[in-house]
Structure 1
Amino acid sequence: MDNQQHSDCDKDIPNPSHSHARKISDGITSSNQGLTSFIREYRPLHEALRKGDLAETEKYLIKDHPGSLCAKITSNHETALHIAIMFGHLDLAKRLVELMSEEDLALKSRNGTTALHLVTLLIENEDEIIDVAKCMVEKNKRLVTLSDTNDWLPVTLALDLGHTEMARYLYSQTPFEFFQPRLGKHGVVLLVQCYYTNLFDIALDLIDRCPKLVVTDGRRGLNFLEMLANMPSELLLRKNVPFWKRWLNPRSQLQVLVEKIPGSAQKTKRDDFGTNASSGLLHQSVRRILHLIGIKKAKAVENDKQFPLQAAFSAIYKLNEREITAGRIREAILKAAKRGNPEFIVEAIRIHYPFLWNTNDENGRNIFFLAVEFRQAAVLNLIHGLAMKHVFANMRDKGANCLLHMAGLPPPSSHLNRISGALLQMQREMQWFKEVESIIPHMKKEYLNRENKTPRDLFTENHRELLKQGEKWTKANAGSCSVVAALVATITFAAAFTVPGGNDQIKGYPIFLHKSLFVLFMISNATSLFSSTTSLLIFLALLNSRYAEDDFLKSLPSKMIIGLSTMLFSLANMMLAFCAALFLTLKSQAWIVIPVTFLGCVPVIFYIWLQFPLLIEIIMSTYGPGIFNRNVKRWP
């Protein structure tokens, strides 16, 4: 699921990594082709560059062929510097940078890539790679503003490949005007990339200096607000981050992020992104110590993902009405309702309360209608925090459907896929129907829509197939478990009359009657017999149940809970009786008893391990806290 969510959210950014890797491959291939055709004279230079031979390269470029330093030595128009970087020879690349002029460093290949673009593609020796980039940028500051044929700046290309330190340096060197919407999509692309890679300080700086970026369309037609709206709540906000990680992370400090939210009095210098000069001496010292002992960097504080969200909506205050309308904030709110993102909805409505009343889709459905339709409990819970929730509970859409009609619609497949078994899926649908039924006025329960259907009629019609699947799933599980319960009952019943050690031939009492292990055997065997019999009866009752819609809410799950728990309990006691019997009969042969006991317990423990998670899930779904919460603080 996490993969699907991510693909939905980052539609704004085409992935250039494969294309650039292909460009490198094409460059090397075309270089080899060129050697056999019209640039055969560069063969010695190619060999020297491939081997990283600094002496031979200098000899060729300085003494033998002085004009070849900026020559296009491949059919893909790469220079010697391009080739040296492709092969990862950084020392050689630094020397070539020293030899080349400022204008020569800006030479592009046929694919539009400069040598600086290629440096951002390297993945090893990050510090050395950044040093090479610094050498280039110090000699020609215009390099950071040159884009390739796919319109990627070096900073966005580096961040797309996950090179955060390189991106920090390049961002500190790139003039901010190149991130303005009037000069293209670089700003919004970088903003989205920073959010995904946890570079929240850069993201907040972008929003602070250019609020319009949050409503500017990216390359695929989505703006930053719509990207945030498409993120489910569990991805937008990550909680329970340890304090020490928050404190040690050099670029996730809460205070810095809060200060950079628009409206804060204190601003952080943009140069800090490149030099990290704002870090305190104590933080720097601790990080050096951690680096020495092997802890290179504290994990990013994922909980800080909420601050770009707050900053994005704070930036809305700086926009005019036309820009707000063009930013499609209402559409973003509707997407947030469908994706289960209550934090986005709350922040959006707090900046402009009328959004709560006039944000409807083409069918006239507001955020609470969509929350029920797409089964987003976190969004529906927000209705309990409104002073006028009864108004929203009484609304109807263009099809004369009330809120309860939405609960009667078929659930999204993604919602059902997260729930184990058709029994629990049908139970969850009944829970949704009952929850919404408790919200709306009593008279609304029998309202007819344009198709003359009540909410219950619509629910029955759209859940008929799921009800059949729930019945089939429950009966199949009850049948297989009843076989196990019957087997245990048979074994334990027979064991009660064939006790270990046998009986006294005169008195008829068991020989080990006064042994504590024998008492343990009898108690565990009897307990196993009674619990397995109970389990068998419960599963037989499940096989003969009526399977009505309301039965899936409590009756059927409760029977399944009792049946599974007593069956697992009987298995555990049966193995306890087995172990006690072994120790009684083979007490002096411990080397036999222990391995046999262990091997005998393995299949039973394995079966319990497979069934126990299902039992816990049914218990939590039936008697747990549930997905609905009515104790919501008053908002907006």
Structure 2
Amino acid sequence: MDNQQHSDCDKDIPNPSHSHARKISDGITSSNQGLTSFIREYRPLHEALRKGDLAETEKYLIKDHPGSLCAKITSNHETALHIAIMFGHLDLAKRLVELMSEEDLALKSRNGTTALHLVTLLIENEDEIIDVAKCMVEKNKRLVTLSDTNDWLPVTLALDLGHTEMARYLYSQTPFEFFQPRLGKHGVVLLVQCYYTNLFDIALDLIDRCPKLVVTDGRRGLNFLEMLANMPSELLLRKNVPFWKRWLNPRSQLQVLVEKIPGSAQKTKRDDFGTNASSGIKKAKAVENDKQFPLQAAFSAIYKLNEREITAGRIREAILKAAKRGNPEFIVEAIRIHYPFLWNTNDENGRNIFFLAVEFRQAAVLNLIHGLAMKHVFANMRDKGANCLLHMAGLPPPSSHLNRISGALLQMQREMQWFKEVESIIPHMKKEYLNRENKTPRDLFTENHRELLKQGEKWTKANAGSCSVVAALVATITFAAAFTVPGGNDQIKGYPIFLHKSLFVLFMISNATSLFSSTTSLLIFLALLNSRYAEDDFLKSLPSKMIIGLSTMLFSLANMMLAFCAALFLTLKSQAWIVIPVTFLGCVPVIFYIWLQFPLLIEIIMSTYGPGIFNRNVKRWP
């Protein structure tokens, strides 16, 4: 609100002429005099409102200064009711509402805020706050339709601050015509807010009663569909609900959704959205975490729009955004509505959703191609630059894609996996196709991944070098320990003193195992330092060597600590108070090192031998 004041002041800055400067000076003097007047005249009232003193406030407003009840008592044009609410004195605010007339409740401050706007800003004692709002609305129902200078209705302001129960009540009291697109952006703003705050019952009611809201531009120039398209898949829907399950029911999706929400728009009055809602609406909260509802409802609303409204809604642009953001659910729902979207949705470069999926490395979208009956047609397409689908895999990946992958080795491996996956999709003869720059897909890949390949080599050698030092250290320690056994040897026979102890057997086995595995790890890391670092080597060869090296090194560390613990228990068995803390302290650095390296090992294993990011078992669609 203060920012709005500053912007209003900036608009009034005149040219720096002498006469204008005098007017500014006069205005400032007048403003200061007005502020002084406010302080002098209403000081007792301000003190009473600040303290929440009901008796003093009533004495001032009723007996001493009857006309002050609706007076603007601050330089920001707030009334006594505004001040009482800002200080959080709800009982005092209720009493002032009783004293004020219907017209007085609609008085606005300089920022255009009514007292009801201020009530929505309070965060404590939610039930009492809603009671104050009810007192106001029951006395003047027009309050819910008044917006401030920033064009916020009370309901949208409440929801913007996350006050969901207050928003439910205000929504039930606001005439629906104020959410119609012809009266502004209140409806689409509220729809977007409902999505982010999981108020899906209100969102579905809005879409059901005014389908055009899903293609109406909001304050940032995006409509609701475009906002959903920009959502990554994991944020838009729950991952445990396969999106193709929604294809099984041929009925209107909105009707299905409405039936899933007892007491929704078709079965109850809008009053049920208030805090005294029916049990059905209360049950609606149980499904608020299922974010597939707004997506289904939004696309079901498209059926009710005409061709002009669909075109103006920029659905094709939204589909392209969904492809870039990795939102296959949005794409499937859009194409189910209008199948030609699959064929004629291209960007300015002539690239369809599958080209963009490869370019922006969105595997979930690319996987959809395996569910098409005419998969080969899309695999044979070219863009305006004569690039085929495999050329897209040769383009440099988005930085956001690489930032999610640990280490340059795995980043280069992921790029090779993308190239090989797309290569398996396109016809064999397309692999050597030239684009307008006379480059094959492999040429483009090599050119754009030269720097990443160097980084992958550098990262792998650096890790192999540091790990080989650890492996060599473990091998040295365990080799020496094999000849300096705990307890020493018998001076006559030469056998170890603890030869027949089970702990000694454990010590020797773990020490020997640690020696063999550390030696193996050392040899593997040395091989990595001298390996070839070609593009194809990053797919399996180099990651496999790193897996063997890391796993044997971590295994050797674990066995070395086991041997250490067994030796301590053998030599200090009668002094457990020394053995236990020393064993614990000795294991801490090794455990810490294993804890740091183990996640990397798991990531390499999953990236190399795991299920991968690509899925060819996709249900036939659309």
TM-score by length of 2: 0.91
In the alignment, the residues of structure 2 paired with residue 223 and residue 571 of structure 1 have an alpha-carbon distance, to the nearest angstrom, of 57
Give 1:272 deviation, angstroms: 1.5
- Which secondary structure does the structure 1 equivalent of 2:270 belong to? coil
CA pair 10-373 structure 1, distance change in 2 beyond 3 A: farther
- Which secondary structure does the structure 1 equivalent of 2:142 belong to? helix
Tell me the alpha carbon deviations over residues 93-142 of structure 1, each in whole angstroms, 9 at most, x when there is no partner: 00000000000000000000000000000000000000000000000000
CA pair 78-226 structure 1, distance change in 2 beyond 3 A: same
Tell me the alpha carbon deviations over residues 453-496 of structure 1, each in whole angstroms, 9 at most, x when there is no partner: 00000000000000000000000000000000000000000000
Give 1:41 deviation, angstroms: 1.0
CA pair 573-6 structure 1, distance change in 2 beyond 3 A: farther
Does structure 1 residue 345 correspond to structure 2 residue 331?
yes
- Which secondary structure does the structure 2 equivalent of 1:10 belong to? helix
CA pair 605-29 structure 1, distance change in 2 beyond 3 A: farther
Give 1:249 deviation, angstroms: 25
Tell me the alpha carbon deviations over residues 531-555 of structure 1, each in whole angstroms, 9 at most, x when there is no partner: 0000000000000011100000000
Give 1:5 deviation, angstroms: 31
CA pair 604-10 structure 1, distance change in 2 beyond 3 A: farther
CA pair 10-70 structure 1, distance change in 2 beyond 3 A: closer
> Is the CA contact (8 Å cut-off) linking 1:340 and 1:379 kept in structure 2?
yes
**Counterpart residue number, 1:475:** 461
Give 1:259 deviation, angstroms: 2.3
CA pair 214-250 structure 1, distance change in 2 beyond 3 A: closer
Give 1:7 deviation, angstroms: 24
Aligned length: 622
> Alignment partner for residue 594 of structure 1, among 580, 584, 593?
580
CA pair 532-27 structure 1, distance change in 2 beyond 3 A: farther
> Is the CA contact (8 Å cut-off) linking 1:478 and 1:540 kept in structure 2?
yes
Give 1:304 deviation, angstroms: 1.7
CA pair 454-263 structure 1, distance change in 2 beyond 3 A: farther
CA pair 77-260 structure 1, distance change in 2 beyond 3 A: farther
In the alignment, the residues of structure 1 paired with residue 401 and residue 604 of structure 2 have an alpha-carbon distance, to the nearest angstrom, of 17
TM-score by length of 1: 0.89
Matches within 5 A, 1:402-421: 402-421=388-407
Give 1:36 deviation, angstroms: 3.3
> Is the CA contact (8 Å cut-off) linking 2:380 and 2:427 kept in structure 1?
yes
- Which moves more between the two structures, 243-252 or 270-279? 243-252
> Is the CA contact (8 Å cut-off) linking 1:248 and 1:298 kept in structure 2?
no
CA pair 103-448 structure 1, distance change in 2 beyond 3 A: same
CA pair 176-344 structure 1, distance change in 2 beyond 3 A: same
CA pair 166-277 structure 1, distance change in 2 beyond 3 A: closer
> Is the CA contact (8 Å cut-off) linking 1:249 and 1:300 kept in structure 2?
no
Tell me the alpha carbon deviations over residues 189-240 of structure 1, each in whole angstroms, 9 at most, x when there is no partner: 0000000000000000000000000000011110000000000000001245
In the alignment, the residues of structure 1 paired with residue 456 and residue 598 of structure 2 have an alpha-carbon distance, to the nearest angstrom, of 20
Give 1:271 deviation, angstroms: 1.9
In the alignment, the residues of structure 1 paired with residue 517 and residue 2 of structure 2 have an alpha-carbon distance, to the nearest angstrom, of 41
> Is the CA contact (8 Å cut-off) linking 1:249 and 1:297 kept in structure 2?
no
Give 1:242 deviation, angstroms: 16
> Is the CA contact (8 Å cut-off) linking 1:34 and 1:40 kept in structure 2?
no
**Counterpart residue number, 1:425:** 411
> Is the CA contact (8 Å cut-off) linking 2:521 and 2:552 kept in structure 1?
yes
Tell me the alpha carbon deviations over residues 158-197 of structure 1, each in whole angstroms, 9 at most, x when there is no partner: 0000000000000000000000000000000000000000
- Which secondary structure does the structure 2 equivalent of 1:124 belong to? coil
> Is the CA contact (8 Å cut-off) linking 1:252 and 1:300 kept in structure 2?
no
In the alignment, the residues of structure 2 paired with residue 161 and residue 18 of structure 1 have an alpha-carbon distance, to the nearest angstrom, of 46
**Counterpart residue number, 1:261:** 261
Give 1:270 deviation, angstroms: 1.7
> Is the CA contact (8 Å cut-off) linking 1:493 and 1:529 kept in structure 2?
yes
Give 1:268 deviation, angstroms: 3.9
Tell me the alpha carbon deviations over residues 488-510 of structure 1, each in whole angstroms, 9 at most, x when there is no partner: 00000000001111111111111
> Is the CA contact (8 Å cut-off) linking 1:12 and 1:222 kept in structure 2?
no
Tell me the alpha carbon deviations over residues 246-270 of structure 1, each in whole angstroms, 9 at most, x when there is no partner: 9999999999944279999954432
> Is the CA contact (8 Å cut-off) linking 1:12 and 1:219 kept in structure 2?
no
Does structure 1 residue 488 correspond to structure 2 residue 474?
yes
Give 1:9 deviation, angstroms: 32
- Which secondary structure does the structure 1 equivalent of 2:284 belong to? coil
In the alignment, the residues of structure 1 paired with residue 520 and residue 563 of structure 2 have an alpha-carbon distance, to the nearest angstrom, of 18
- Which secondary structure does the structure 2 equivalent of 1:36 belong to? helix
In the alignment, the residues of structure 2 paired with residue 477 and residue 316 of structure 1 have an alpha-carbon distance, to the nearest angstrom, of 54
CA pair 365-24 structure 1, distance change in 2 beyond 3 A: farther
CA pair 22-469 structure 1, distance change in 2 beyond 3 A: farther
In the alignment, the residues of structure 2 paired with residue 235 and residue 14 of structure 1 have an alpha-carbon distance, to the nearest angstrom, of 49
> Is the CA contact (8 Å cut-off) linking 2:120 and 2:157 kept in structure 1?
yes
In the alignment, the residues of structure 1 paired with residue 70 and residue 247 of structure 2 have an alpha-carbon distance, to the nearest angstrom, of 48
Matches within 5 A, 1:25-174: 36-174=36-174
Give 1:414 deviation, angstroms: 0.3
- Which secondary structure does the structure 2 equivalent of 1:250 belong to? coil
CA pair 30-576 structure 1, distance change in 2 beyond 3 A: farther
In the alignment, the residues of structure 2 paired with residue 135 and residue 629 of structure 1 have an alpha-carbon distance, to the nearest angstrom, of 58
> Is the CA contact (8 Å cut-off) linking 1:119 and 1:129 kept in structure 2?
yes
> Is the CA contact (8 Å cut-off) linking 1:249 and 1:298 kept in structure 2?
no
In the alignment, the residues of structure 1 paired with residue 504 and residue 8 of structure 2 have an alpha-carbon distance, to the nearest angstrom, of 63
Give 1:278 deviation, angstroms: 3.5
In the alignment, the residues of structure 2 paired with residue 233 and residue 13 of structure 1 have an alpha-carbon distance, to the nearest angstrom, of 48
> Is the CA contact (8 Å cut-off) linking 1:247 and 1:253 kept in structure 2?
no
In the alignment, the residues of structure 1 paired with residue 583 and residue 21 of structure 2 have an alpha-carbon distance, to the nearest angstrom, of 58
CA pair 482-502 structure 1, distance change in 2 beyond 3 A: same
In the alignment, the residues of structure 2 paired with residue 578 and residue 140 of structure 1 have an alpha-carbon distance, to the nearest angstrom, of 81
Q: Unaligned stretches of 5+ in structure 2?
A: none
CA pair 4-376 structure 1, distance change in 2 beyond 3 A: farther
> Is the CA contact (8 Å cut-off) linking 1:518 and 1:584 kept in structure 2?
yes
In the alignment, the residues of structure 1 paired with residue 16 and residue 557 of structure 2 have an alpha-carbon distance, to the nearest angstrom, of 57
Q: Unaligned stretches of 5+ in structure 1?
A: 280-293
CA pair 257-614 structure 1, distance change in 2 beyond 3 A: same
> Is the CA contact (8 Å cut-off) linking 2:413 and 2:538 kept in structure 1?
yes
CA pair 628-264 structure 1, distance change in 2 beyond 3 A: farther
In the alignment, the residues of structure 1 paired with residue 587 and residue 342 of structure 2 have an alpha-carbon distance, to the nearest angstrom, of 60
- Sequence identity percentage: 100
- Which secondary structure does the structure 2 equivalent of 1:295 belong to? helix
Give 1:16 deviation, angstroms: 33
Give 1:15 deviation, angstroms: 33
Give 1:17 deviation, angstroms: 38
> Is the CA contact (8 Å cut-off) linking 1:16 and 1:157 kept in structure 2?
no
> Is the CA contact (8 Å cut-off) linking 1:229 and 1:335 kept in structure 2?
yes
> Is the CA contact (8 Å cut-off) linking 1:231 and 1:336 kept in structure 2?
yes
CA pair 456-4 structure 1, distance change in 2 beyond 3 A: farther
> Is the CA contact (8 Å cut-off) linking 1:404 and 1:433 kept in structure 2?
yes
Tell me the alpha carbon deviations over residues 394-428 of structure 1, each in whole angstroms, 9 at most, x when there is no partner: 00000000000000000000000000000000000
In the alignment, the residues of structure 2 paired with residue 244 and residue 381 of structure 1 have an alpha-carbon distance, to the nearest angstrom, of 13
Q: Tell me how large the CA RMSD over aligned residues is.
A: 7.2
In the alignment, the residues of structure 2 paired with residue 92 and residue 596 of structure 1 have an alpha-carbon distance, to the nearest angstrom, of 67
CA pair 362-141 structure 1, distance change in 2 beyond 3 A: same
